[in-house]
Copies of this chain bind each other. A is one copy, B any other.
């Protein structure tokens, strides 16, 4: 990472963070600071409402400035952590003005000329002439990180996944609501109106509920599930891959977990699957059966790595059969990853680092 750190430090112009006061914006600033990007190279941009306030930057702070096209166009690279509307309005003009734009929203994820990138998986879609890159959906990034080593070696035929998604997917407001409603729930005497949810459609404290994105009335899929299907197919360039996702919110602050059943194209030995995951950059194997230590939302919080464990062949292939079968095509696993870091801010910063390496973003 030291090369990457120094590469960001030496970008020949400001690094803008659009939406700097949000959960992903703040995390992006924290990662830039940890990469030793000097505060004076950072443009923290946000709505007029936040302009003039300060946000944490390393041990200090940086001032938030009002998002405007002239200011944005003065940047060498801009990481957008704002809404799809803002991306739709400002990303292409900025790219046209010579800014390299990496967008966290879903606005550009299916534009033919905008690569959708997880650097460990498809950095080959970036080049020296790249000006616009889309950052995938958080659940998709974490899922594909865990499965990429398997896809490379054995191929993937089908994915079944059920998610355990943190409230931070709805930003800082989601986190505030979880903490507020949890406090209220612990005081049984509190008035009914204090229990009313504002961010989510269901009370999130001590509750599990279907993902808050809109549900397509015809297919029954919610928008988060559609993202997992479409983005996985695009990132892997497998346009007909079978994926059956179920996206669910849980009362967790900022790490998503996912229960995955993957069907491989070729049979794989269990030890080989475990080794492939352990060896893949950005993954950490946490798979201690004897002590019941596996990935948890808490352990993944604040971490760069995606934690992967509970790796086992589908029991329907093993439970009735004598041990010793050489390989299996269906594997189950459980993963946990920080939704704000690898699920968003870190992945965007890694894309920027790759673009510096490729010369798309010039250095001093």
List residues of A whose CB falls within 8 A of some B CB: 158, 160, 162, 164, 178-179, 182-183, 186, 201-203, 206-210, 212, 214-222, 225, 229, 240, 242-246, 248, 250-253, 257, 259, 261, 289-298, 309-316, 318-320, 323, 330, 332, 334, 336
Contacts and interface: CB of A to CB of B under 8 A. Distances in A.
A206 B251 contact: yes
A220 B270 CA distance: 11
Contacts of A242: 314, 316
30 contacts: A160-B160, A160-B261, A164-B208, A183-B186, A186-B186, A201-B292, A202-B296, A208-B296, A210-B292, A210-B296, A212-B292, A215-B292, A217-B289, A217-B290, A218-B323, A219-B312, A219-B315, A220-B289, A220-B310, A220-B311, A221-B315, A221-B319, A225-B315, A229-B319, A244-B330, A244-B332, A246-B259, A246-B332, A248-B257, A248-B259
A314 B182 CA distance: 35
A216 B289 contact: yes
Copies in the complex: 2
Given A182-B182, A186-B183, A323-B218, A310 B210 contact: yes
A298 to B, nearest CB: 4
From DSSP, what is the main secondary structure of chain A's interface residues?
Answer: mixed
A207 B297 contact: yes
Nearest to A253: B206
A313 to B, nearest CB: 8
A206 B252 contact: yes
B315 A243 contact: yes
B207 A252 contact: yes
